[in-house]
Chains A and B, each alone.
Chain A
């Protein structure tokens, strides 16, 4: 439990560095977690194939919001090709915790939204984080 709500997670939930919207942006995508209604929108700016800035907006539990903040922090300055390679393990590594199947959906929502946006897909499917 203390694991699940590590200080870093509570900190990113309460004081996210990358919450907001980017206008203009090159990529923007939003989706929900249908099970619990968590909602995340991610806006990206891309310069020569590299993520130059990123913001997320939405609502949800500490796990979903903190993982979005940590995820964006980790991709700024990275080429899109690298972002495409991110998977479930990358997010769990950022969070530094293990999660059961229910909370895993919360943690992975931001990565699904990010990748659906990067690939220009209509929907943030589960296959994106396998």
Chain B
């Protein structure tokens, strides 16, 4: 059964918005952030209208209710990625903070000068800079799995790097520029055989693919709500229980403690040990609603729909003289099409498309080293989600012809 995209689009009121008079939005920027269905928006409004209170220590009815909603969402998120327990799901602000949590807590307690961390050339800045900072502070060594010309990781080179006994391998499950879906299970298995811990950046994979952290055997898995129909300001870090238990706390403050004396404290148990201060409660509720929304539709169906749109988009874009696409073929990637148009800067492409209400992103997409590798300063990027249609791809293609005409 295919997705009923016409019905799905009705769940996203913003998709009907006129960007300017007579021009309806064509939203092709879900890789940056997805749009939000009514169910998610309503869940957060309802929380504030009906249940708002601070969580955990309150005994009054609202505090109980808010706590149940906050923790209930955690259960849903845990199930969504098939975590063994909700205690293994730590709320953070976003994927970036999840990665930083591992860098500040696990890595600073574990890594010494000279210890090796393996990253890849296709990482988002959020999985580069925390390790650059640790390199500067601690003298850890960094190595990078190279990206091949067709946008895949060079696994032969990876095997050779593993021979240097890394302590950590950290990589993106799905590239936000190339769209490449990396063979995470295989890479994790290889890393474990080499004795390394593995952190996976799942910012792009969890919204688009069925992710099972236990089958993958990931040690840490980071993702954000806002790319998967949820609100901004909340994300999650999944971790192996033994690792999370052995790690020192991240931020100190209320809620992350079991007991505080004037000169000492005892940290709380999981997952609260890593959640200091009043968290984003309404956002957690919205995160739970987003997971419900996606689960109801079915991740396999969503992935299949995106594949169909992506295949069509790559085919149509390829036909345009002067367009150069980056990344592997549709069977090896998610719903992302990064491209350049000969003679026209990506910003100009995006700006002219915007006049027709077509929202694409232009720039280095927080992956500057990857763009350097391909010898280009920037790309334009169209990305697709469950609500996108082939008609929207056609609008994009017509728009690009318009750009060409203008710069003729």
Q: Which residues of A contact B (CB under 8 A)?
A: 1, 4-5, 10, 14, 35-39, 59-63, 65, 103, 106
Contact = CB atoms under 8 A, between A and B. Distances in A.
A1 B362 CA distance: 18
Interface in B7-21: none
A59 B346 CA distance: 11
A1 B352 contact: yes
**Interface size for chain B: under 10, 10 to 19, 20 to 34, or 35 or more residues?**
10 to 19
Interface stretch (B67-75, B147-155, B219-227, B363-371): B363-371
A10 B348 CA distance: 11
B348 A61 contact: yes
Interface in B327-366: 343-348, 351-352, 355, 362-364
Contact of B368 (A37, A38, A39, A59): A37
B355 A36 contact: no
Contacts of A35: 363
Contact of B407 (A10, A37, A60): A10
Given A10-B406, A59-B377, A36 B362 contact: yes
A37 B348 contact: no
21 contacts: A1-B352, A4-B351, A5-B406, A10-B407, A35-B363, A36-B363, A36-B377, A37-B368, A37-B371, A37-B377, A39-B377, A59-B345, A59-B377, A60-B345, A61-B345, A61-B346, A61-B348, A61-B351, A62-B348, A103-B351, A106-B347
A22 to B, nearest CB: 23
B378 interface: yes
Nearest to B403: A5
Contact of B378 (A1, A36, A65, A103): A36
B352 A36 contact: no
B364 A1 contact: no
A110 to B, nearest CB: 15
Interface of B: prevailing SS? mixed
Nearest to A10: B407
Nearest to A5: B406
B351 to A, nearest CB: 7
Interface string B143-185: 0000000000000000000000000000000000000000000
Contacts of B343: 14
B347 A1 contact: no
B407 A36 contact: no
A37 B364 contact: yes
Contacts of A106: 347
Contact of B355 (A1, A62, A63): A1
Contacts of B348: 5, 61-63
B347 A5 contact: no
A49 B363 CA distance: 38
B308 to A, nearest CB: 32
A37 B374 CA distance: 14
A82 to B, nearest CB: 30
Contacts of B378: 36-37
